[in-house]
Chains A and B, each alone.
Chain A
Amino acid sequence: MNPDHHSSLNPSSSLKSRFTKTFLRSLIKINKQRPFPYCPREIFQRCHRVKTAADKSLARAAGSRRVWSRAMLCKIRNRSLRRGCQQRPSVRRIIIGYQTTKKGYCLQKKMSDDQEVGTDQASKLRKLVPGGEAMDLCSLLDEAAHYIKCLNTQVQVMRRIADIHSS
Chain B
Amino acid sequence: MEKEKLFLNEGANSTAAVPIWNPCSFGMEMQSNKLNCCSDQLPNCFFNPNWDSSMDQSDPFASALSSIVSSPVTTSNAIPSSGGVGDPVMIRELIGRLGNICNSGEISYINNNSSTNTSCYSTPLNSPPKLNISIMDSQIIGNLPILGNGIPDHQSLAPFLADPGFAERAARYSCFGSRNLASNESELSHRLMPRLEPDKLQRVSSNPSEKATGRQANVNVDGNSNSDKKFSRLSRSSTPENAEFGDSRDESSVSEKIPGGKLSMKGLNDSNSRKRKAIPKGKAKETPSSSLSASDSKVVAEMDESKAKRSKSKEINGDEKDSTKANEEENSNQKQNKDNSKPPEPLKDYIHVRARRGQATDSHSLAERVRREKISERMKFLQDLVPGCSKVTGKAVMLDEIINYVQSLQRQVEFLSMKLATVNPRMDISMEALLSKDIFQSRGSLSQNLYPLENSAALSFPYGYRSQQGIALPNGMFSNGETQFSTNPLNAVLKRNQCMQLPALDGFGDAPRQVSTFWEDDLQSVVQMGFGQNQLQQPQAFHADSNMPGAQMKVEL
A binding-site residues for B, Cβ under 8 Å:
13, 16-17, 20-21, 24-25, 27-28, 31, 36-41, 43-44, 46-47, 49-51, 54-55, 119, 121-122, 124-125, 128-129, 137-138, 141-142, 144-145, 147-149, 151-152, 154-167
B382 touches A145 (CB 8 A): yes
A122 / chain B contacts, CB cutoff of 8 Å: 399
Interface of B toward A, CB cutoff 8 Å = 371, 374-375, 378-379, 381-382, 385-386, 396, 399-400, 402-403, 405-407, 409-410, 412-414, 416-429, 432, 435-436, 438-440, 442-443, 446-447, 450, 453, 457, 460-461, 463-465, 467-468, 471-474, 477-478, 480, 483, 487
Contact partners of A166 in chain B: CB under 8 A:
419, 423, 460-461, 463-465, 467-468
Given contacts A121-B396, A144-B406, A166-B468, contact A17 B421 (CB under 8 A): no
Count A-B pairs with CB separation below 8 Å: 179
> Is there an interface contact between B410 and A47, defined as CB atoms closer than 8 Å?
no
In the assembly, what is the distance between CA of A17 and CA of B436, in Å? Answer: 7
Contact of B421 among A37, A145, A154, A157 (CB under 8 A): A37
Q: A121-B399, A137-B375, A147-B406 are in contact. Are A16 and B428 (CB under 8 A)?
A: no
The residues of B that contact A148 with a CB separation of less than 8 Å are: 382, 385-386, 402, 405-406, 409
Per the bound structure, the CA–CA distance linking A147 and B443 in Å amounts to: 19
B416 engages A162 (CB within 8 Å): yes
- Please state if A152 and B450 are interface contacts (CB–CB under 8 Å): yes
Contacts of B378 in A (CB 8 A): 138, 141-142, 145
Q: Decide if A121 touches B446 in the complex (CB within 8 Å).
A: no
Question: Are A44 and B477 also in contact (CB < 8 A) when A125-B403, A155-B450, A166-B464 are?
Answer: yes
Among B381, B439, B461: residue with most chain A CB under 10 A:
B439
What residues on A are CB-neighbors of B435 within 8 Å? 20, 24, 160-161, 164
A44 x B474 contact (CB < 8 A): no
Is B417 a contact partner of A47 (Cβ separation < 8 A)? Answer: yes
* B382–A144 touching, CB < 8 Å: yes
State in angstroms the CA–CA spacing of A124 and B438 once bound together.
36
Residues of B within 8 A of A36 (CB): 424-425
Are A43 and B480 within 8 A (Cβ)? no
| Interface contact A160-B442, CB-CB below 8 Å | yes
Interface centre among A40, A55, A159, A161 (most CB of B within 10 A): A159
B417 touches A51 (CB 8 A): yes
Given A47-B487, A165-B464, 6 new contacts (CB under 8 A)? A40-B473, A47-B417, A51-B418, A121-B396, A138-B374, A166-B423
